[in-house]
Amino acid sequence: MLKKTFIGILTVVLMFPLMVVTVNAEQCDSNSLKLRTDFHKHIISPDVGNALRMLGIPLNIMTGEDIINNVPHGSKAIVLSDAYMVSRLADYGLISDEYETVKRSNNYVSVQCAVYSNKLIPYGSINPLKDYAFEEIERCREELNLKGLKMHFANSGVDLKNPEHFNKIRKIFAYASKNKIPLLVHQRNVEEPYGSADAKKLVGLLAQYPELKIQLAHLGGWGGFDHASYEYLQTLVQELKAHPEIKNVYLDLSGVVLTDQANPALAEGVPTPTAGDYQKAAALIRDFGLDKIVFGSDTPLYNSTDDYIEAFSENFPLTKKEMKKIFEQTPDKTLFKGLKFSIGPVEHSRRHCQ
Ligand SMILES: [Zn+2]
């Protein structure tokens, strides 16, 4: 029981950003690499921020302006709703009206990003195992005009090897494929062992929906790059080669490089990769294809996108040319390619703004 609680809290801590320090974006020096889009940034809503504080995790509530100030000058960002965290906080007794809070969190990302609709791209999120999941996915798409959907399997307790879970995720993939909703999935969960079998399950599912646009967070792991993450990624690359019809799988680099600049509370329990680990990861992403790799900072794991760019550049063994290729990725060239999204102003009814 104790262990279970510990794992639960650890998962919360691991996957949740901690302190947010607003860093004024400085003009990039002309010699440095220019990141066009940060594909993985979190926003913290008042409900979730306050509940996390009660758990002893001092998170600052963030606004759209905070996010704008946290990306390099001129960069865009995909901004992830924190609604997926609500069910776990409800399990801790820190939130009582779960679905209402989920709705408020998804409304929050929508409203905050609407002010900067030419720069910030809002994604909704849910716990896919909940009864309200579908209703909320539809609401995010139809009412809030959110551009994509984030799911976090560790936080939501999802294991694709569990047939019941697999079936629920399959239905969401079917809906996302049909309605052209890009997904961002953090697949690694607390079930042991994690690795090849999980990659095979995912590819088996994607083979049913080969057009689905999907971004896998943290190279399919959960930060750092340990043996399980390596095994997962190696299998994923092999399996996708055997399924050339699956065309739209992207991997993000967020959270992979851990340095002492990363928030220690978040990095706790996640081994810092060695130079050899980074070499292995680099070899696998080259094999996967750098045109399918996107850069994300996972702030506030790091205080700002620039801090993660610095940590990444210093530790991850890619050439400048390779980095440049990855940094030039945009949603329009990758996850949103061929989709008719209006990344323009969104009308919001008053009730969303409360
Ligand atoms: Zn993240």
For the CA atoms of 34, 36, 41, 46, the dihedral, rounded to the nearest 10 degrees, stands at 110
pLDDT at 263: 84
Q: How far does the centroid of ligand 1 lie from the alpha carbon of residue 300, in Å?
A: 9
Model confidence band, residue 345 (pLDDT cutoffs 50, 70, 90)? very low
Q: How far does the centroid of ligand 1 lie from the alpha carbon of residue 42, in Å?
A: 6
Higher model confidence: residue 172 or residue 268?
Answer: 172
Q: How far does the centroid of ligand 1 lie from the alpha carbon of residue 153, in Å?
A: 12
Domain residue ranges in the chain: 2-15+120-335
Region 266-279: what's the mean pLDDT?
91
Q: How far does the centroid of ligand 1 lie from the alpha carbon of residue 123, in Å?
A: 12
For 47-70, b where at least 16 C-beta lie within 10 A, e where not — what string?
bbbebbeebebebbbbbbebbbeb
Q: How far does the centroid of ligand 1 lie from the alpha carbon of residue 2, in Å?
A: 26
pLDDT at 353: 31
Q: CA–CA separation, 250 vs 181, rounded Å?
A: 14
pLDDT at 56: 82
Q: How far does the centroid of ligand 1 lie from the alpha carbon of residue 304, in Å?
A: 13
Q: How far does the centroid of ligand 1 lie from the alpha carbon of residue 169, in Å?
A: 19
Q: Does the pLDDT of residue 211 top 50, yes or no?
A: yes
pLDDT, tens digit (0-9, with 9 covering 90-100), for 26-85: 333 435 689 999 999 999 999 999 998 898 888 789 999 999 999 999 999 999 999 999
Structure tokens of 196?
């090849």
pLDDT, tens digit (0-9, with 9 covering 90-100), for 324-338: 999 999 999 999 998
Model confidence band, residue 300 (pLDDT cutoffs 50, 70, 90)? confident
pLDDT at 23: 34
Q: Are strands 76-80 and 37-42 parallel, antiparallel or unpaired?
A: parallel
Tell me the pTM. Answer: 0.89
CATH topology of domain 2-15+120-335: TIM Barrel (3.20.20)
